[in-house]
Structure formats: C-alpha cells, structure tokens
C-alpha cells in the first residue's frame, strides 16, 4: 500500500534485525497463546476447575476466570500472530504470563501438587509429576517476548506495519 512517491526507507541492518527479533517474539508468544487457548476453549468447565485448583481466587471468581482465559488467550494470540495492535496485545499477553508465573510459584510454594492446566487438563497430580520449574521458565520466557513487544512493537511482516506504518 506504499504510495509511489514514498519509497520504502531502507532500514539499517540493526533495525531490520530488531524487526526480525520482534517477529520471532510475536510469533512465539502468539502461537503458544493460540494453542493454549485453543486446547481449552471447548471445555470451559475443565478450565474453570484448573483455575480453582490453584486455590487462590474465591470459588466463583476462579470459575469465571477459567471461562474467560481460553477466549482471551485465543484472541490475543490471533492479534499477535497477525501483528495487529501488537503493543496492546503484548500488554495483555504479558500481564497474563506474569499472572501465570505468580500463580504457579504460589502453588509451588504452598506445596500443592497440581497440573497448571496451561494447555488443558489441570487439577491435582502426583507430587512427582509436577513440573513447576519448567512451567515457570517457559512463562518467564514468554513474558520476555511480551516485554520486548511492549517496548518495541514494530516487527517484520506485521499488519500494523501495513495498516499504520
């Protein structure tokens, strides 16, 4: 959609590299959110129970959070993959990841043995089956992706670039 007169400003190598790192961050966070949300979106009751199993929020509120999370994840994931409203989507995605990290660490430190239910499932499992460390590391990594995009939302091959760039 670039006008004939406005020739594309050939970005210096570093900016191009940053755009590509942004693309990687956007796709990583976006795809993970889409998959995680997509796996849960058809079974809201399971998702509700997974949130309740953290035993942080009151019963009813935890249920509502469980119903909303998959839809929100899919929506944010779609925006990120498309590169549309990248900064806004990254803010929401990053806050979600922070909440997940806090929730998982909270469950861990309270000695609960639960499956985070991040990709469906959830509930109590054998202590030997818990994978809090890898869950936390994954979500910290995804938080970093979100942080990058909040600070520098410009990425390669984004709709933002096409529409507003």
Residues 146-165 that bind another protein (CB under 8 A): 152-154, 158, 160-161, 164-165
- 10 Å CB burial of residue 13 (0-12, 13-18, 19+) is exposed
Q: How far is the C-alpha of 70 from the C-alpha of 102, rounded, in Å? A: 18
Output the smallest distance, CB 121 to another protein, in A: 7
Phi, psi for 83 (deg, rounded to 5): 75, 35
Q: Total residues at the site for another protein (CB under 8 A)?
A: 46
Q: How far is CA 5 from CA 12, 97, 130, 160, in A?
A: 20, 43, 59, 21
The correct pick among 25, 30, 85, 100 for binding another protein (CB under 8 A) is 85
Residues found near another protein in the complex (CB under 8 A): 3, 5-6, 43-46, 48-49, 52-53, 55, 59, 63-65, 67-69, 71-72, 75-76, 79, 85-89, 91-92, 114, 121-125, 127, 152-154, 158, 160-161, 164-165
């Amino acid at each position: 959609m670039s006008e004939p007169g406005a020739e594309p400003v050939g970005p210096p190598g570093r900016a191009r590299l940053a755009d590509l790192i942004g693309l990687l961050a956007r796709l990583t966070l976006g795809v993970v959110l889409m998959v995680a949300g997509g796996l849960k979106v058809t079974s809201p009751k399971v998702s509700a129970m997974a949130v309740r199993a953290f035993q942080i929020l009151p019963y009813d509120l935890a249920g509502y959070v469980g119903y909303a999370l998959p839809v929100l994840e899919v929506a944010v994931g779609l925006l990120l993959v498309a590169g549309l409203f990248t900064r806004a989507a990254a803010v929401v995605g990053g806050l979600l990841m922070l909440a997940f990290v806090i929730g998982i660490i909270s469950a861990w430190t309270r000695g609960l043995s639960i499956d985070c239910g991040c990709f469906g499932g959830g509930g109590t499992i054998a202590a030997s089956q818990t994978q809090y460390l890898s869950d936390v590391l994954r979500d910290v990594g995804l938080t970093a992706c979100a942080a990058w995009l909040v600070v520098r939302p410009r990425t390669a091959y984004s709709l933002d670039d096409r529409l507003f760039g």
